[in-house]
Copies of this chain bind each other. A is one copy, B any other.
Amino acid sequence: MHKIPIQIRFSDIDGVGHVNNVVYGQYFDVGRLQYFHEAIGETMEWNKGKILVLVRTEANYFQPTFLNDTVEVHTSVVEIGDKSVKMRQRIVGTDGSIRVEGYSVLSTYDFDTHKSFPMPAEWRNKLLAFENRQTGR
């Protein structure tokens, strides 16, 4: 499991007094980018060439997060398809409580052809290898 602490910002808190539901999407982004950065490396830009784009997200909100809470985002790749990757992410308190659990599907996308393309073997291998190295952490 890839883990990274989240720096909560004052404006993340909404009028109800806890982290706004929408903001968790930003936390998930932090985890996802860091995951890809570590797993696949410097090769991925996000606005040109061959990349992965978010095509679906889902999230279940279990418990609120407050301004002074300490939380991490935990990220795993749970499925690698022909042209897509499915990830599971959780926002977890230092007490182990799961605040939010989300799933996201990313599709391959080529900015030049505007189409998806078969998942490169290199990406698949790097993702699998990285995911394996995280096991037990």
| Chain A residues engaging chain B, CB cutoff 8 angstroms | 6-7, 9-11, 13-17, 20-23, 25-26, 29-30, 33, 46-47, 53-61, 67
CB pair A10–B23 under 8 Å, yes or no, is no
* Set of chain B residues within 8 Å of A25, measured between Cβ atoms: 21-22, 25
Nearest CB to that of A48 among chain B residues?
A: B16
Nearest CB to that of A37 among chain B residues?
A: B68
CB pair B10–A7 under 8 Å, yes or no, is no
**Could you list some 18 contacts between A and B, CB below 8 A?**
A10-B20, A10-B30, A10-B46, A11-B14, A11-B29, A13-B15, A15-B46, A15-B67, A21-B25, A22-B22, A22-B23, A22-B26, A22-B29, A55-B61, A56-B59, A57-B58, A57-B59, A58-B58
The complex places the Cα of A56 from the Cα of B62 at a distance, in Å, of 9
Nearest CB to that of A62 among chain B residues?
A: B55
CB pair B55–A60 under 8 Å, yes or no, is yes
